[in-house]
Amino acid sequence: MSISRDDTLNWIKSCAAVLAENRDYLTQLDAAIGDADHGANMDRGFKAVMAKMPEMADKDIGTIFKTVGMTLLSTVGGAGGPLYGTFFLQAGMKSAGKMELSLEDWTIALEAALAGVVMRGKAELGDKTMVDALMPALNALKQSLQDHQPLGDALRASAQAAREGMIATVPLVARKGRASYLGERSAGHQDPGATSSYLILNAAAETWKNT
């Protein structure tokens, strides 16, 4: 079982759809502790990615991820652009030349993507950022790989771990980003970046469940 180039393109399309669908929800979350623009920014970025679909159709997976990353860097405002841009660029470097990804390949790509986000955002687990969703998701993938789980099961476990990490941001006091300016008042609100990260990883689990 593996993730093909077409599966990868379908995931990107699913990300665009789910972020458009949750645009207002992400904006509401960001209004509580940020600049109230995360939903609009992510939606705009992935709409720009969708416009690049024709030129990505015959490319390898690494090139697809790099194109997504560069597009997000140039179109997404706020912190989301550099962070998600880096996420996809780093995943692209680990997927260079590949026309399909095994579970191990995807785990390696996600690990590089997370490392890029951590390096760019200087955030750790518990800082109330997208790292709080991405790190548990990566750990779940590694565990699934170790346990020789089928790809679909591993992706579901990863998405579930991301969801739990997202929910766990609610009581946290933000230590990074715009939300950190609020101090204790940031507690009690779900982090929008962790939420968009969960939505993206859940889209992968849903899109690739039958691969």
Q: What is the pLDDT of residues 126-161, one digit of tens each?
A: 889 999 999 999 999 999 999 999 999 999 999 999
Residue 204 has pLDDT above 90, yes or no: yes
pLDDT band, residue 181 (cuts 50/70/90): low
How much is the pLDDT for 35? 83
CA distance 12 to 6: 10
What does pLDDT average to over the chain? 94
Q: What is the pLDDT of residues 1-52, one digit of tens each?
A: 899 999 999 999 999 999 999 999 999 998 888 888 999 999 999 999 999 9
pTM for this entry:
0.94
| Domains of the chain, earliest start first | 3-207 (1.25.40.340)
Q: What is the pLDDT of residue 40?
A: 94
Q: Identify which has the larger pLDDT, 178 or 156.
A: 156
CA–CA separation, 55 and 42 (whole Å): 21
| Distance from C-alpha of 163 to C-alpha of 202, rounded to nearest angstrom | 8
